[in-house]
Amino acid sequence: MVKFLGLLAFAAAFLPGAALAAENDGMVFVKGGSFTMGSPNDEPWRSGDETAHPVELSDFYIAAREVTQAEWEAVMNGNPSAFKGPDLPVENVTWLDAVTFCNARSRADGLAPAYEITGDAVTWNRASDGWRLPTEAEWEYACRAGSAEPFSGRASIGPDEANFYGHYPYNVEQNYFTQEKLEVKPGQYRQRTTPVGSFAPNALGLYDMHGNVGEWCWDTYGEYGSDGVKDPAGAAESSSRMRKVNRGGGWNDFAKHLRCAYRASLPPGRSSASVGMRLARNAVSMTGSLTSKVEVSEPGKGEKKEPKVLVAFFSWGGTTRGIAGEVRKQSGGDLFEIEPVREYSSDYNTVLNEAQRDQRENARPKLKGRVENFGQYDVILLGYPNWWASVPAPVASFLESYDFSGRTIIPFCSHGGGRLGQSVTAIGKLAPNAVIGTPLSVHYGGGSSMPADVAAWLAKNELNEEDGGKKR
pLDDT value at residue 228: 83
- Regarding whether 460 and 382 lie in a shared domain, the answer is yes
268, 367: one domain? no
Confidence band, pLDDT 50/70/90 cuts, at residue 242: confident
- Over residues 278-282, the mean pLDDT reads 97
Is residue 406 exposed (0-12), middle (13-18) or buried (19+ Cβ within 10 Å)?
Answer: exposed
Q: How confident is the model at residue 368 (pLDDT cuts 50, 70, 90)?
A: very high
What is the pLDDT, as a whole number, of residue 8?
34
Strand 60-63 to 53-57 pairing = unpaired
With a cut of 50, say whether residue 1 has pLDDT above it: no
Residues 254, 360, single domain; the answer is: no
Domain that holds residue 278: 5-293
Average pLDDT estimate for 229-258: 87
Same domain assignment for residues 155 and 31: yes
User: Quick one: 283 and 356 in the same domain?
Assistant: no
**Residue 214 within a domain:** yes
Are residues 287 and 343 located together in one domain of the fold? no
Q: How far apart are CA 60 and CA 283, in angstroms?
A: 4
User: Are 325 and 287 in a shared domain?
Assistant: no
- Asked whether residue 299 is domain-assigned, the answer is no
Task: Point out the domain boundary residue: 258, 293, 328.
Answer: 293
For residue 428, being part of any structural domain is answered with: yes
Residue 17 has pLDDT above 60, yes or no: no
CA triple 254-445-409, angle to 5 deg: 65
- What CA–CA distance (Å, rounded) separates 175 from 352? 11
- 14 and 123 in a single domain? The answer is yes
Q: Is the pLDDT of residue 470 over 70?
A: no
316 and 225 both lie in a single domain: no
Contacts of 69 (CB under 8 A, 6+ apart): 79, 81, 84, 85, 86, 87, 88, 89, 90
* 303 belongs to a structural domain: no
Residue 218 CB-half CA count within 13 A: 29
CATH of the domain at 165: 3.90.1580.10
Pairing of strands 309-313, 379-385: parallel
- At 471, the pLDDT band (50, 70, 90 cuts) reads very low
Residue 460 has pLDDT above 70, yes or no: yes
Number of independent structural domains in the chain: 2
The answer to whether 340 and 367 are in contact (CB under 8 A) is yes
- pLDDT band at residue 168, thresholds of 50, 70 and 90? very high
pLDDT category at 327 given cuts 50, 70, 90 is: very high
Q: Are residues 428 and 460 in the same domain?
A: yes
- Edge-first strand listing for the sheet containing 115-117: 115-117, 121-125, 289-293
- In this structure, is residue 44 part of a structural domain? yes
230 and 344 housed in the same domain: no
Position 156 pLDDT exceeds 80: yes
Q: Global pTM?
A: 0.89
Work out the mean pLDDT of the chain and round it to a whole number. 90
DSSP 221: P
- C-alpha distances (whole Å) from 282 to each of 114, 134, 140, 347 are 10, 9, 16, 55
Amino acid at 78: G
Q: Is residue 35 part of a domain?
A: yes
What is the Cα–Cα distance from 217 to 233, expressed in whole angstroms? Answer: 9
pLDDT at 373 over 70: yes
Contact indicator for 411, 431 with CB cutoff of 8 Å? no
Beta strands in 18-170, from DSSP E residues, in sequence order: 27-30, 33-37, 53-57, 60-63, 115-117, 121-125
Are 261 and 331 contained in the same domain?
Answer: no
Instruction: Point out the domain boundary residue: 267, 293, 319.
Output: 293
* Residue 414 confidence (pLDDT): 97
Kindly state the average pLDDT of the residues 10-36: 64
Distances 92 to 195, 288, 409 between C-alpha atoms, Å: 16, 31, 21
**Residues 280, 60: contact at Cβ < 8 Å?**
yes
Confidence of residue 343 (pLDDT cuts 50, 70, 90): very high
pLDDT at 439: 96
Task: For residue range 403-449, list pLDDT tens digits in order.
Answer: 999 899 999 999 998 899 999 999 999 998 899 999 999 999 999 99
Per-residue model confidence as pLDDT tens digits over 73-103: 999 989 999 999 999 999 999 999 999 999 9
